[in-house]
Chains A and B, each alone.
Chain A
Amino acid sequence: MSGFDAARFDRQVRFGPLGSAGQQRLAESRVLLVGVGALGGVLAQNLFRAGVGQLVLCDRDVVELSNLPRQVLFEDRHAAQGAAKAEAAAETLRRFGGPTELEVHSTHVDASNLADLASGADLLLDGTDNLGTRYLLNDFSQKMGIPWIYGGVVGSGGLVLPILPGKSACLRCIFPDPPPPGSLPTCDSAGVIPPAVGAIASIQAGAALRILSSIDDELAAFEPKLLQLDVWSGTTLALDAPRRPDCPACGAGPGAGTYEFLEAPPGRDPVVLCGRNTVQLPGTGRAPDLAAIAARVAPFAEEVHDLGAMLRIRVEALVLTLFPDGRALIEGTDEPDRARAIYDRYLSS
């Protein structure tokens, strides 16, 4: 008996390489999507509409006006509210209808929570905006044997690399170590155009459907390549990506399999979000009393918005967003010391 709505998915089931059996496997699959902004929004939309069984949405950020041209799941009102991206994405996806179950986490993904978030996942999808999280995902993928798909976009193009542990090159086979922070242009510093986002994320999504819908024999024929694509010049380049025997993550040489990004203790220091003029302060592990904080700061704040699961406060020309896990974003500064001082002044108990 079919576990999916045959009428709803008729057209994609007619696509031979997917078929009913592949659609059934999609319906039974669970995917962790880290980041639901630009790439992540397109990925989420594709997988949700395609009928993936369960989609776990994670994002640490809030919606801003400058997100709207390329982050397809958000609307003006989300930016006006400063809504949490994961929650706003889920709201939009649910309006589409369909059988996919959503699990939503407005959280910063790091080594302390990745195993829980990825529990039961058949695939990890990269919608992030930083290499640190990608090297973490790569380590976790190799350790647990779960495929993941790297995608990066900036300007008019980007890269895609599907990674099948034990079979194809991992991120560290290609780029053994991340460059120092700030070495690479980001969408905030170098800009990005929406078609580049759509193109890169769509290639990621295509690989995702193939991996999720394939049985082992079918996946054996899949030979992932590192793909470079530019929508402005209309050029593509595909690089064969064999594994490197001396890869520090997936190789067989001395020191391989140590998963240094996964095993490093999560940072407790403030994180400056590159190009965002925002500082993230880590959670305390204790749920803050949002109602009490809202009442306490109301006499001093220019605005206080209780968004249910989170609190948004405008004060001293800054915007403070406090999440249920105690994590806070301080928008309007890139100085960690000032952010910490503001947090202590208004948000700490």
Chain B
Amino acid sequence: MQLRIDLPGLVAGVLGRDHLLVEAGTLAEALTAAYAAEPALGPLLEDESGDLREHVLVLIRTSAGTLNSRWLPDHERPFEPGESLVVMQAVSGG
């Protein structure tokens, strides 16, 4: 299914666009497709070992609310129609 991934403002500023559209059935597939479409995105979201960076959240917008991918046992949960992804990152400025 086609999935929309919304990017935070500062990542959007680096990539020159504020969202991606990818074909994916699971979160793992969505991230793989997103990194293929935007090679600069991978290093912004993941560390060298492939784990999400400490300050990054990947959120799944579902009909029942927003799921934090950190709280899922793995990235294999199948998407439901209408769901989308949002990337969020910690903010240190003040």
Contact = CB atoms under 8 A, between A and B. Distances in A.
Nearest to A180: B54
B66 A186 contact: no
A186 B92 contact: yes
B13, B65, B91, B93: residue with the most chain A Cβ atoms closer than 10 Å? B93
A239 B66 CA distance: 6
Nearest to A230: B9
Interface in B31-70: 53-55, 57, 59, 65-66, 68
Nearest to B18: A233
B72 interface: no
Nearest to B91: A152
A192 interface: yes
B5 to A, nearest CB: 13
Nearest to B89: A184
A152 B90 contact: yes
Contacts of A174: 57, 68
A33 to B, nearest CB: 11
Nearest to B66: A239
Interface stretch (A99-107, A125-133, A288-296): A125-133
A107 B30 CA distance: 47
Majority DSSP secondary structure for residues of A touching B: mixed
Nearest to A126: B94
A131 B92 contact: yes
A344 B72 CA distance: 53
A39 B93 CA distance: 9
Contacts of A178: 54-55, 90
B86 interface: yes
B24 interface: no
B22 interface: no
Contacts, number: 97
What is the size category of the interface that chain A forms with chain B? 35 or more
Contacts of B88: 159, 226, 228, 237, 239
B80 to A, nearest CB: 17
A131 B18 contact: no
Contact of B66 (A233, A237, A244): A237
Given A128-B94, A179-B90, A240-B66, A185 B10 contact: yes
Nearest to A38: B94
Given A239-B88, A240-B65, A187 B54 contact: no
Contacts of B54: 175-179
Contacts of A233: 9, 18
A115 interface: no
A183 B55 contact: yes
Contacts of A152: 90-94
A127 B55 contact: no
A224 interface: no
A232 B9 CA distance: 9
A47 B5 CA distance: 38
A136 to B, nearest CB: 13
A198 interface: no
4 tightest Cβ-Cβ pairs between the two chains A and B: A152-B91, A154-B93, A187-B93, A129-B94
25 contacts: A37-B94, A131-B90, A152-B90, A152-B91, A152-B92, A153-B91, A154-B91, A154-B92, A158-B93, A159-B91, A176-B54, A179-B54, A179-B90, A185-B10, A188-B93, A190-B13, A190-B93, A228-B88, A233-B9, A237-B59, A237-B66, A239-B57, A239-B88, A240-B65, A240-B66
Interface of B: 8-10, 13, 18, 53-55, 57, 59, 65-66, 68, 71, 86, 88-94
Interface of A: 35, 37-40, 126-131, 134, 151-159, 174-179, 183-188, 190, 192, 226, 228, 230, 232-233, 237-240, 242, 244
